[in-house]
Structure 1
């Protein structure tokens, strides 16, 4: 398959084989993540330790590029939260995504493109602020039950956080009232609490 056909395959959200990926870029045979998605639009808002892109596809997703170790940690936490009903952006997985401008594959954590603005940019007036606060309290309660430990709650960012979550990592969609939590790359889960909760309190 030629280059155009391979790019079309990525746009359609189809996974490439190693040989197909190797046609676009001479890549390592030891890659542990699937070759999938193409990134074209870099979002203006960038994290301190990551770059954020939109995938080019029928249903655009967020592709977060950065250090593999921290991305993988964030993905695992977000995946556990999603499974247990915490309102996070739906994680799709870890992939090698292709940047056609640089003609290179990059490791990325791909997730749902959630609508809304982050709380650091929104001025909330009562009673709207109280509504958001109650929703966040409910989510934080679930997260703590699963052994969640926030990096920001024990750092210099504490004054910029809301229940230990950095304001820019909380999205709020005024139209639907939905809140979405993001970015757990440097956070931790207490696996003992997670296991206990998963087994209905019986830590066998």
Structure 2
């Protein structure tokens, strides 16, 4: 399958992966649509429209077009080599959290090792990233970036990396603030039974975005450093 962009994700496994794929309506590991569950009185399809194409994931290195002179095979080989040097990360767990106007799963406990690992991936694979277009830069700058985020955008092609990185697994589109408590209360019984304690991040996933915009797993690699 041909991909327009690539990214490095953390993608859950086990029951959280299954529940999350159904919630979003897209199974990134198998590259296929999944029927939404019935959750209270929620319109799950509408709530998950924005994050659906990405699948259940936390972004480690944001989506990028391959740089001129690089190849998908070269990216895969370098990704595997990098993961072999990185150690797994263990945190206390995951919790359902409002982030601005959307809901996400965020880590409990000290995230220093997690943040350091993510930074290594951003730096280590950056030779494969083509510079963003002027349109992409302009779109990102509409978010009123801080000076640090602007510096990240210019150097790494994305504002929210390195010191601006915050690990999260997105579960909804942006919601009206007044709806957040209701959606949280309805979603919690569905998702929290699948949250691991402790949360061990032991692998990363190279994903690709197909022509229809949907992301697919290309390869999962264990962190074995």
User: Normalising to structure 1: TM-score of the pair?
Assistant: 0.28
Q: Under a length normalisation based on structure 2, what TM-score does the superposition of the two structures give?
A: 0.27
Q: Which of the pair has more CA radius of gyration?
A: 1
Hey, which of these two has a bigger chunk of helix by percent? 2
Higher RCO (C-alpha under 8 Å, 6+ residues apart): 2
